[in-house]
Amino acid sequence: MLDSNRSKRGKYLKSKDKMNIVILAAGMGKRMRSDMPKVLHPIAGRPMLAHVLERARSLAPARLVVVYGHGGERVPAQMAAPDIVWARQEPQLGTGHAVMQALPWLDDTVPTLVLYGDVPLIGQATLARLCAAAADPGCMALLTVRVPDPTGYGRIVREAGRILRIVEHKDADAATRALDEINTGVMVVPTPALRRWLAALSKDNAQGEYYLTDIIAAAVADGLTVVGVQPDALPETLGVNSKAQLAELERAYQRQQADTLLAQGITLIDPARLDVRGRLICGRDVSIDVNCVFEGEVTLGDGVSIGPNCVLRDARIEAGAQVLAFTHIDGAVVGPGSRIGPYARLRPGTELAADVHVGNFVEMKAARLDTGAKANHLAYVGDAVVGKRVNIGAGTITCNYDGVNKHRTIIGDDAFIGSDTQLVAPVEVGAGATLGAGTTLTRNAPAGKLTVSRARQVTLDGWKRPVRLPKD
């Protein structure tokens, strides 16, 4: 058998960069105690299955098949993509039965890699070694790991160092249960042989299911060598069957992100209190305080400082800017040397130039502030274009929404907007203009002049404060 397989070696080598990938994602996950399909539960803000698909796509598979089941069409509906073939497993009769559902779409000229939709942290380097170990058609490769407590896992049975079979925990005797090397389920298998071995599976076992692990003994019986490959780190092999395990993998993922940032020279005040839920790109001498969340794509330029308890989503913070505590920045650009917060909120479409100050309890949406502009506290600036060196006083509001449409406010360079001002858009404030405190601006304010709109102050002599009437 080995000799005949080696005669096909050239064929396999020509396809060594291609393979079928089957992702098993049909499990119910009863211990999750959730109506959501297990593989849709998030790690770092994305479904677990999305992480596995990303890793699978990095291998440029010839076929990508996802086997789904629990949750009906919710999984393919949410994760639909043109490169995925969806195969439904109904009823669900074990891992071997799950892989059977993918067989019609597999290419026999390349091997098949089996992954799991609830094992989201599998590493690219680990998969590369696993695939390399299975490059010879006389071999199949199996990802194994040694753990302190193997309870519940299938045990790897070896003889003279060679893998002979896998025994599931429920079917194992005491001696086998004492083994600490376990099966992760991740494997690379010659596809024609996989078809033959799956067809011969039996569900005569403790769980009454078709075990994919039974193909190991079949491979050995056919004369193939089963090569065991170990992961770079244990979390790569861990699956999720409960909310506690989901939380553990979330922290493992975030620790990986923190370690990567630390290796790049980023200062993390506490690496255990960081959440990266997307892509975080940092320049030199960046500092990030505790409990910060980064979502989507966030870029931090050289010398940027992020204070504690900030949330940044799809944002660009340019060199030397400071983001102070409890600030939320979503879909915005902060220019170099600017100072934002604490307790500020920048909403989508906001663009700040250099040296802009946005202070506490200031909200901005679709606003552009030019160099040196300031809104230091308690203001709302929406759908506005603000010039250089403008000062926006406390309590200022751009009244941009008439209940149906949004309107723009334009403020020229060096204008001074007094406290408690309402600018009823569409309206313009000329360069160098001053608006007195309490002004409600409904018409354009001319450049270089003071514009005031307020009620005349009146004092009423003889007025007395009301007194509480006696109760009946």
Using alpha carbons, list the distances in angstroms from residue 370 to 72, 316, 353, 385, 450: 52, 16, 5, 8, 22
Q: Which amino acid is present at 182?
A: I
User: Can you read off the two tokens belonging to residue 92?
Assistant: 């669900």
The alpha carbon of residue 11 and the mean position of all alpha carbons in its chain are separated, in whole angstroms, by 39
Please list the alpha-helical segments (H only) found in 7-86. Answer: 9-14, 48-57, 74-79
| Three-class DSSP labels, 103-141 | HHHCCCCCCEEEEECCCCCCCHHHHHHHHHHCCCCCEEE
Nearest to 108 by CA among 191, 188, 187: 191
In this structure, the number of other CB atoms found within 10 A of the CB of residue 361 comes to: 15
Residues 6+ apart with CB under 8 A from 255: 271, 272
How far apart CA 471 and CA 452 sit, in angstroms, is 46
Give the number of residues written for the chain: 472
User: Can you read off the two tokens belonging to residue 393?
Assistant: 């006083």
Active site positions, annotated:
377
- Rg of the chain over all Cα atoms, to the nearest angstrom: 31
